[in-house]
Amino acid sequence: MQPRIAFRTHYQIDEPAYLELLIKLCTSPVQSTYREVVAQRLSKEIKKRGAKLNEDAAAYAVDLGKDLRLLTDNHTWTETGHLINLVAHIGPDELEHELTLSLPEKLLHFRVFLEGDGAAIVFLARRLIQDRSVIGSALTWNALAKEMFISVFSEYLAMTNNTADRVELRREIQRIKAKDYRGNSGEHKMLVHLQTLYRLGLVIRPEPSGSRTYQLPETQSGARCALLTIAEEVRDAAGLERVLVDHKWIEVAAKVFQIEARGWTNALDLASLVVPYYQSVMATGAPLCPISTLLEAVQIDLLSHNSQLLVWSEAVQALEKLQKQHPKDVRFHVDRRGQPAFVKISDEFVASCSEHRVEP
């Protein structure tokens, strides 16, 4: 079992918005690319927006994209990479404007980082609840990074029965215990996790362009600490796996971002919601559209724009009902396990839904 934590990171690659540039402007859904080429493209895009990023640092962003399951080993998009393309918006503005996330983008990155880096999020939530702040220094970063990785790997060791995974986890734990992080190593390891929490609005940074200090925000009367919600809803590595396997991330997100959401009751209108996203995915040249991409895009859309919570089971049931009603127009394709994972919708059905689109 692979721990859900981004390991190969760089202190300059600390902004979740960099992943949007990486997917939308520097990689392809269908064409494989060398790591060095992608890094070069990202470096140029950052420089266009008035900031600096050398190609060596940009290569770490490519690695982060793979760690977060946005890119395949050939640097083409995964299902989650397609989700980034659907939800994220990139304008012509300078970089600082791009770094600020809209609510749909916050939900998007919460989903992305919970899957690929959720163990780090839970660890830091518990630590910030305990200490209320993390004050950056070489000593702090190095000690905190060592503690975080040992804690996360130990939790996964305790919950896995796979012999190969247990051997690898024990090896990593012993390696980290035997050799302290030194110099800037801890800073490289820690900033992406903390800065992401800051961009999501879950922690505050008193000096946004200065000292790397991250604090638990003061909650107003009646408000609830978002990190406390994460700590209670997810709790640990085992809880994280349950949330993700059961597709419960959207329910957790609604609580974390304190969105007073009502249940979605327009199941019969699912077609009008998924078709625009389907068209966008197919326009990239993808041969089939991932079902998870479609449904998660709709979940984010409904929660961020209409405060409607569409849970996964209801979304799947609605899509299955749509397929049964239109078996010639809506076709499922299975993955290697024989489970429906992709969908193909006829052009005629797409045109019909586009003409009668119903707003949620």
Contact call for residues 84 and 91 (beta carbons, < 8 A): no
- pLDDT at residue 236 in the model: 93
201: left (phi over 0), alpha (psi -120 to 50) or beta: left
Return the exposure string of 131-161: e unless at least 16 CB atoms fall within 10 Å of the residue's CB, then b: eeebebeeebbbebbbebbebbbbbbbeebe
Q: Which CATH class is domain 262-355?
A: mainly alpha
Contact call for residues 190 and 137 (beta carbons, < 8 A): no
Give residue 7's pLDDT band: very low, low, confident or very high (50, 70, 90): confident
Contact call for residues 293 and 147 (beta carbons, < 8 A): no
Report the SS3 class of residue 341.
strand
**pLDDT tens-digit profile of 25-45?**
999 999 999 999 999 999 999
The model's pTM is 0.94
% the chain with pLDDT above 70: 96
- pLDDT at residue 358 in the model: 47
Summarize the confidence of residues 225-254 as an average pLDDT: 95
Domain ranges of the chain: 17-231, 262-355
- Checking if the pLDDT of 52 tops 80, the result is yes
Give residue 333's pLDDT band: very low, low, confident or very high (50, 70, 90): very high
- Checking if the pLDDT of 357 tops 70, the result is no
Give residue 317's pLDDT band: very low, low, confident or very high (50, 70, 90): very high
Question: How long, in residues, is the chain?
Answer: 360
% the chain with pLDDT above 90: 75
- Checking if the pLDDT of 180 tops 90, the result is no
- pLDDT at residue 267 in the model: 52
**pLDDT tens-digit profile of 58-105?**
999 999 999 999 999 999 999 999 999 999 999 887 888 889 999 999
Q: Which residues pair with 214 in a beta bridge?
A: 134
**pLDDT tens-digit profile of 118-149?**
999 999 999 999 988 888 777 789 999 999 99
- Weakest-pLDDT range from 1-15, 130-144, 191-205, 261-275: 261-275
Alpha-carbon distances of 153 from 142, 147, 167, 173, 195, rounded to whole Å: 17, 10, 11, 7, 22
CB-based contacts of 150, cutoff 8 Å, min separation 6? 173, 176, 177
Give residue 311's pLDDT band: very low, low, confident or very high (50, 70, 90): very high
- Checking if the pLDDT of 268 tops 70, the result is no
- pLDDT at residue 220 in the model: 53
Contact call for residues 293 and 246 (beta carbons, < 8 A): no
- pLDDT at residue 77 in the model: 97
- Checking if the pLDDT of 219 tops 80, the result is no
- Checking if the pLDDT of 117 tops 50, the result is yes
Summarize the confidence of residues 256-280 as an average pLDDT: 86
Average pLDDT over the chain, rounded to whole?
91
Give dist(CA 137, CA 13) in Å, integer: 18
Give residue 360's pLDDT band: very low, low, confident or very high (50, 70, 90): very low
Summarize the confidence of residues 322-334 as an average pLDDT: 93
